[in-house]
Amino acid sequence: MYSSKKYKVMKNIRLISMAIIAFVTVSLTGQEKSINLFSVPLSNPGNPGKLVIDQISGSIHVEGYEGAEVVIKASFGSNKVHFKDDDQRDGLKRVKSSSLNIGAEEKNNVVHVINEQWNKVTNLDVKVPKNFSLKLSTVNDGNISVKGVNGEMEISNVNGKITLESVSGSASTDTVNGDIKVYFDSITKDANMAFSSLNGNVDITFPSSLKANIKAKSDMGDIFTDFDMQVSSNKPEVNKNNGSGTYKVKIEQWVRGTINGGGPEMLFKTFNGDILIKSK
């Protein structure tokens, strides 16, 4: 049994350690497709934290819960094909690997999930304490969704949609091929936000008390709102270069306006899609 003094020393060592690293190697056999990976304890339970995930393939789902640890579960798609023949090459049979290489590192309530499954689609299902910030990104074969989290969110996707449901705080989201849909229960006062897609709709719901300066543009779609937005007239922008003698003038396509007298900047942008700015 530890003495009180020894216990305090051990606790301090845990709190000041550079990281808590948990790597898991699991063999999946038969039809098993999903597994509980691990739980990551926080250095300061009960205080706000941050989750960081940056992966190549697969979906990410994060949900807030009444707990003090980050709990990670995963399901897996089929391996990516490296050879023209799935089973043989030059008369040799391909050995199929079913091991996992996923880990997590924690320092000062920041949890970084390390997914080194380069040849396998990995769908991560993560539970975090409700007061948690998020930095999430994926590239292929997946969507990103968040539910019931309160914090600062930075969400990026390439080939998939982004959905934030019943969230609070602030958000910056971008995707290339996919819709963005966000429903805020409440927002951080004076926080600037941005929502951008290339091919997809941008559908954002705010509390009716929103105070914001709006900057929005859709090249191939329309902009809709049920807020009483005061739209500013576009004025020509003049750029004169005395050195070269050139004089340029243009009118931006951006729609600018204010809601409830104005406030932090809210940017909405899509090339091929509609923008919907809604109140709840």
The per-residue DSSP string of the chain comes to ---HHHHHHHHHHHHHSS-EEEEE--B--TT--EEEEEEEE-SSTTS-EEEEEE-SBS-EEEEEES-SEEEEEEEEEEEPP-SSSSSEETTEEPPPP-B--EEEEEETTEEEEEE--TTEEEEEEEEEESBEEEEEE--BS--EEEES-EEEEEEE-SSS-EEEEEEEEEEEEEEEES-EEEEEEEE-TT--EEEEEEES-EEEEE-TT--EEEEEEESSS-EEESS-EEEPPP--EEEEETTTTEEEEE----EEEEETT--SEEEEEEEES-EEEEE-
pLDDT in tens, 171-220: 999 999 999 999 999 999 999 999 999 999 999 999 999 999 999 999 99
128: in domain: yes
Quick one: 106 and 157 in the same domain?
yes
The residue segments making up the domain with residue 149 are: 33-78+101-188
Any domain includes 141: yes
**Any domain includes 28:** no
Count of CB atoms situated within 10 Å of the CB of 83: 10
> 6 lies in a domain?
no
User: What pLDDT shows up at residue 150?
Assistant: 98
pLDDT under 50: residue ranges of the chain: 1-2, 4-32, 81-85
Indicate the pTM of the whole model: 0.81
Give the model's pLDDT for residue 88: 67
Q: State the pLDDT at residue 242.
A: 73
Q: For the chain, what is the domain count? A: 2
The answer on 52 and 145 residing in a single domain is: yes
180 and 234 both lie in a single domain: no
Q: Is the domain of 37 the same as that of 141?
A: yes
Q: Is residue 202 part of a domain?
A: no
Looking at the fold, whether 73 and 176 belong to one and the same domain comes out as yes
Residue 268 inside a domain? The answer is yes
Q: What is the structure's pLDDT at 7? A: 43
Q: Examine the domain organization and report whether 158 and 60 are in the same domain.
A: yes
pLDDT value at residue 92 = 84
What is the predicted pLDDT for the residue at 22?
42
Rounded CA-CA distance 48/130 in Å is: 8
